[in-house]
Amino acid sequence: MATWSNFNFQDSASPIMEQMIFFHDFSMMILTIIIIFISYLMMNLLMNNLTNRYMLEEHMLELIWTVLPSIILIFIALPSLKLLYLLDDNNKPFITLKTVGHQWYWSYEYSDFKKIQFDSFMIDKNNMNLNNFRLLETDNRVILPMKTKIRILISATDVIHSWTIPSLSIKADATPGRLNQANFFINRPGIFFGQCSEICGTNHSFMPIMMESISSKSFINWIKNY
């Protein structure tokens, strides 16, 4: 959960999110070095009276500031391409979850278990308990097993929505008439929250996502008792 004192990413709950955080830190390190170096050069030019202000050309300098940025971009592009591949990889999912966005709630269907489908509405603040999170609690939460490859199919019935859970590194648009696909792997138990990330109308901020990750044995018991 994000708080006023925490401006970083949420704690990762999937291998992809761990790679995302690593890539962010790696890119920020490169950007910080570039900013410090450029700031030093600018201050040196402004405060050094011995700078040659009439230098018209320098082939070596031109070569350096062409080749060096190219090398830096390659170091950033390679891990980025790897992440894009991992995000699109959908190898033999164990469970398929279908979610459909409405104004303004989500409906879910477990495609492998035809009888399990439900709508998920935000709990009104008048019906909340003291231990509930405002604007994030739902009346029906998504139950999924951890350490399992999961595929999610996403669509919408009216306008464009976006199904997002930051701690799992998932953000996929729900577009009417189209079926979007994403996959994830939850590596620990817990409750994870998300919200619609596409402005979809007046109640856009009132259609949260609430997912609970449990063990495979508990998930099978939940399926039997649903």
pLDDT of amino acid 4:
64
Look at residue 71 and tell me whether its pLDDT is greater than 80: yes
Look at residue 120 and tell me whether its pLDDT is greater than 90: yes
State whether residue 58 is helix, strand or coil: coil
If one counts every other C-beta atom within 10 angstroms of the C-beta of residue 83, the result is 16
Q: Which domains does the chain have, with CATH numbers?
A: 15-88 (1.10.287.90), 95-225 (2.60.40.420)
Peptide bond into 104 cis (omega under 30): yes
CA distance 207 to 213: 20
E-only strand ranges, the chain: 95-102, 105-110, 117-120, 142-145, 149-156, 161-165, 170-174, 180-185, 190-195, 208-214
Does the pTM surpass 0.85? The reply is no
For residue 143, give the nearest of 208, 219, 203 by alpha carbon: 219
CA distance 33 to 74: 16
pLDDT of amino acid 53:
59
